[in-house]
Amino acid sequence: MREVFQQEMSEVQDRLVGIAELVKSSITDAVESFNKSDVTLAESVIARDSKIDDAVNELDEHAIAILARQSPVARDLRMVVSALRISASLERMGDMAEHIAQLARYRFPDKVVPKAIRPTFKEMGALDVAVATMLVDLLKTQDVKIAEKIRDEDDKVDALHLSVFETVLSESWSQGTETTVDATLASRYLERFADHAVSIAKKMMYLSTGEWNPSSN
């Protein structure tokens, strides 16, 4: 029984890693489509989202089947529940990548944000890609040091998110309303993407430490 459980959980882990890899591809392409105004890339991100959703649903069904067949308790049970929570966060990360790609497609052939603020968005995008890469590693290795690094990267994203508002609200901002709306939403999506990664990192830390406080995000 124990061996079967471990085998099944190792499949759950593989699936989580697989979904995280899809999310990493999505955010990488979304950020590039946003930076370079690449509509083909944006379309591929949008198309990939239903693949992520399907993989999430399959994983959830698999996790529920494990609960039904194995009736795990204690730490094993928390692992399965955590897998369900992690998959929900990955699904939302995919949605954020899709939203960013949608902005790129919508404004094509124009770029979404004006030149002056582009370096900030480039930096935020690169941090989100780094966070997604770390997340794949974290799910593969379950090394909590990576969880801490994700939190550090998220702090940087939050600071840049605030700086976008500072720029947009400064005297020197002479852009039209459309650009202001787009910059506001894009910054919010990039910030939320990293938030979800932190939320997953907390779940992983909880699994190794037993401390669970998912809402104090």
Can residue 79 be called a binding residue for its own copies (CB under 8 A)?
Answer: no
Q: Which is nearer to its own copies, 145 or 170 (CB)?
A: 170
Taking alpha carbons only, the member of 151, 159, 103 closest to residue 131 is 151
Can residue 51 be called a binding residue for its own copies (CB under 8 A)?
Answer: no
| Contacts with its own copies, 114-153, as mask; x by CB under 8 A | ----------------------------------------
Can residue 181 be called a binding residue for its own copies (CB under 8 A)?
Answer: yes
Long-range contacts of 139-143 (CB under 8 A, 24+ apart): 139/13, 139/16, 139/17, 139/20, 139/86, 139/200, 139/204, 140/13, 140/17, 142/204, 142/207, 142/208
Nearest distance, CB of residue 135 and its own copies, angstroms: 19
Taking alpha carbons only, the member of 27, 23, 197 closest to residue 129 is 27
Among 10, 71, 141, 208, binds its own copies (CB under 8 A): 71
For residue 99, how many other CB atoms are within 10 A of its CB?
20
Can residue 1 be called a binding residue for its own copies (CB under 8 A)?
Answer: no
> Binding to its own copies (CB under 8 A): which residues in 5-34?
none
Among 44, 142, 163, 180, binds its own copies (CB under 8 A): 180
Can residue 75 be called a binding residue for its own copies (CB under 8 A)?
Answer: no
Taking alpha carbons only, the member of 139, 127, 130, 103 closest to residue 20 is 139
